[in-house]
Chains A and B, each alone.
Chain A
């Protein structure tokens, strides 16, 4: 409780001040778009014309030029362009049928007119093939459904379900379940399960229709940093002249510390699926990103917590730096996409298996690991129809963990070629050259993947 109190107090203060600010400033989304304006204008013009026609008819009826409509079957006369036109009367039964049809239509339209909540189902799906040396080749597929509800101009709920094959079974994971509220123009508070804001790749690049390789880089994904956090975050952006400063800060369940591993190589690693928050620790973290020009973003993220049993808790610090440069170059007639990220994981000195009961202790060490990736892609958008859809890409990624129970470092060079069928549908082919030290087996791989974003 002592750990939670200052964090909750801070969030409460920030939340209440944000709401105060909101009351003093109207929402910035209250506007009418050009399309809405044009639609209203055309409706207004049509109504004016209809009114003029009615006025003319009334005047003619007053002058006796046109007889007033009579109830029941009768012959009516309409004035069109100053001429008298005699039409046959409409039988009452037809009118009744027409009224009934109108009522039915009204009812049907009422059934499909959206309420105040707006909904969008988005997501992405993949199908792939992997042939990795030393392993059986396999096909795989996955599907991520993203549910978005805009409840008000300030309130958004997003949920993401992932369906994938794992160990011969279809698994379902709740990747995101977050309610976000716009406190004011520059602050948004989110609660629930959300993508890890301190990991740029996870938050912005991991989606298969966005990621340019069939697989993910070492260390930054499913490696040294958590993919998601369970807690609350405060985020936003500060415009500073032509530049922007993005920020995010969060409190969340702390990761667990693996002290009794099924696999010895995972000893001392962090368990990011600590949904029950075993140990009762709290993680605090954040990310700051600076955008000096629209093409460039540099950022730094950090997460700090204590981990392990309460009476033996040690410190865990995760850090990340990211660099992203995307430019449509007229000189190179194409889109340059350069990304890099490096992360560090530190788990403090801990004595594992102190009484030797697990058969390997006592064993004590600081678990320090690091790794990251550098990636360059080029899409020749300035060339012809077919060529502009290709995108060659190269990546170097690395994970250093020689002085841990894992016992080796790994580095990879990956070469890929993507073909974009649409802006969010891509076919990827890649070859990966794997290199491990300390006698570990290298595992080169050939991969194919089709990814569709929708």
Chain B
């Protein structure tokens, strides 16, 4: 273990080690939550329209729901989930809103 720690330290230094430790801790936390069947997210109680405004507007103008069809919004929202780090609840609520509003 000590040898492994030394190898990691030599390779990636303090910033890299900090990131690895952070990710390891977070992975443990996330896996724990997932396997327990509990969601670590909170129910914000916000509707899809509100989440659409809050999350999209932080980076760019909100696009009209009529911009894409239902299938296209599915793809666009998955892209945004990855790029903008949306939670699954936000992803679902915003997609439902966009598909129902056009």
Chain A positions near chain B (C-beta within 8 angstroms) = 2-3, 5-7, 10, 13-14, 17-18, 20-22, 24-25, 28-29, 31, 33-35, 114, 118-120, 122, 148-150, 156, 158, 180, 182, 184-188, 190, 203-205, 207, 209-210, 234-239, 241-242, 244, 246-249, 282, 284-286, 288-289, 294-295, 297, 302, 304, 315, 317, 324, 326, 328, 335, 420, 423-424, 453
Quick check: B62 and A317 within 8 Å, CB to CB? no
Chain B neighbourhood of A210, CB < 8 A:
59-60
Minimum distance in angstroms from A345 CB to a CB of chain B: 14
Main secondary structure of the interface of B (DSSP, over half): helix
Cα distance A234–B82 in the bound complex, in angstroms: 10
The one of A149, A150, A156, A304 that contacts B13, using a Cβ cutoff of 8 Å: A304
CA distance A205 to B61 in the complex (A): 12
Question: Please, how many angstroms separate the alpha-carbon atoms of A302 and B29 in the complex?
Answer: 23
- With A328-B57, A423-B64 as contacts: A24 and B74 at CB distance below 8 Å: no
Provide a sorted-by-A list of 26 A–B residue pairs whose CB atoms are within 8 angstroms: A2-B7, A10-B24, A14-B24, A21-B30, A21-B34, A24-B34, A28-B91, A29-B92, A31-B92, A118-B72, A148-B78, A148-B79, A150-B75, A156-B79, A180-B82, A186-B87, A187-B30, A203-B83, A204-B59, A242-B44, A324-B58, A326-B58, A328-B57, A335-B57, A420-B61, A424-B63
**Would A10 and B88 count as touching, CB distance under 8 A?**
no
Other A-B contacts than A20-B35, A34-B96, A294-B54, 18 sampled, CB-CB below 8 A, are A2-B11, A6-B7, A28-B92, A35-B99, A149-B75, A150-B78, A156-B78, A158-B79, A185-B39, A185-B87, A207-B60, A235-B85, A242-B44, A247-B26, A249-B19, A285-B19, A315-B13, A317-B15
- What are the residues of chain A within 8 A of B100 when measuring CB–CB? 33-35
The answer to whether B59 touches A423, judged by C-beta atoms less than 8 angstroms apart, is: no
Q: Which residues of A contact B63 (CB under 8 A)?
A: 423-424
From known contacts A185-B39, A284-B15, infer whether A5 and B82 are also in contact, taking CB-CB under 8 Å: no
Q: Which of A119, A180, A186 has the most CB of B within 10 A?
A: A186
**Which residue numbers of B lie inside 8 Å of A, CB to CB?**
4, 7-8, 11-13, 15-16, 19-20, 22-24, 26-27, 29-31, 33-35, 37, 39-42, 44, 53-55, 57-64, 68, 70-72, 74-76, 78-79, 81-89, 91-92, 95-96, 99-100
A21 engages B31 (CB within 8 Å)? yes
The CA-CA distance from A205 to B59 in the complex, in Å, is 7
Q: From residue B40, how far is it (CB to closest CB) to chain A in Å?
A: 7
Cα A25 to Cα B24 with chains together (Å):
20
Known contacts A234-B23, A294-B54; decide if A304 and B16 are in contact (CB<8 Å). yes
Bound complex: CA A89 to CA B92 (Å): 53
- Which of A17, A188, A297 is within 8 Å of B31, CB to CB? A17
Other-chain residue from A24, A204, A248, A423 in contact with B62 (beta carbon distance below 8 A): A423
- Minimum C-beta distance from B94 to chain A (A): 12
- Set of chain A residues within 8 Å of B20, measured between Cβ atoms: 6, 10, 249
- From residue A299, how far is it (CB to closest CB) to chain B in Å? 11
Give Cα A31–Cα B88 distance, bound, in whole angstroms: 12
Q: Are A237 and B12 in contact (CB under 8 A)?
A: no
Query: B75 and A294: CB pair below 8 A?
Result: no
Complex CA gap A54/B36 in Å reads 52
Q: Report chain B residues within 8 Å CB of A234.
A: 23
> Is the pair B27, A17 in contact by a Cβ cutoff of 8 Å?
yes
- Residues of chain A contacted by B64 (CB below 8 angstroms): 423
Please state if B60 and A120 are interface contacts (CB–CB under 8 Å).
no
Select which of A2, A185, A317 is within 8 A of B88 by beta carbon: A185
Kindly report which residue of chain B lies nearest to residue A20, judged by CB atoms.
B31
CA of A205 to CA of B76, assembled, Å: 17
B44's closest neighbor in chain A, by CB? A242
- The interface residues of chain A lying within 8 Å CB-to-CB of B99 are 33, 35
Asked whether B85 lies within 8 Å of A120 as measured between CB atoms, the reply is no
Q: Is the CB of B82 within 8 A of A156?
A: yes
Cβ-defined partner of B30 (8 Å) among A35, A156, A186:
A186
Contact B22 A247 (CB under 8 A): yes
A239 touches B40 (CB 8 A): yes
Task: With A148-B75, A284-B19 as known contacts, state yes or no: A33 contacts B40, CB within 8 Å.
Answer: no
For the complex formed, measure the closest distance between the CB of A33 and the CB atoms of chain B, giving whole angstroms.
5
Would you give the shortest CB distance from B48 to chain A, in whole angstroms? 10
Output the nearest chain A residue to B79 by Cβ-Cβ distance.
A148
Q: Lowest 6 A-B CB distances belong to which pairs?
A: A21-B34, A294-B54, A120-B75, A284-B16, A28-B88, A237-B85
Report if A294-B15 is in contact (Cβ < 8 Å); known contacts: A24-B35, A185-B34, A244-B87.
Answer: no
* CB atoms of B7 and A237 under 8 A apart: no
Query: Judging by beta carbons under 8 Å apart, are A35 and B42 in contact?
Result: no
Docked-complex contact A24 and B70, CB < 8 angstroms: no
| B83: chain A residues within 8 A (beta carbon) | 203-204
Partner of A237, one of B8, B42, B75, B87: B87
Cβ contacts under 8 Å, A7 to chain B: 11-12
Q: How far is the CB of B33 from chain A (nearest CB, A)?
A: 8
Please name all residues of chain A whose beta carbon is closer than 8 Å to the beta carbon of B79 when the two chains form the complex.
120, 148, 156, 158
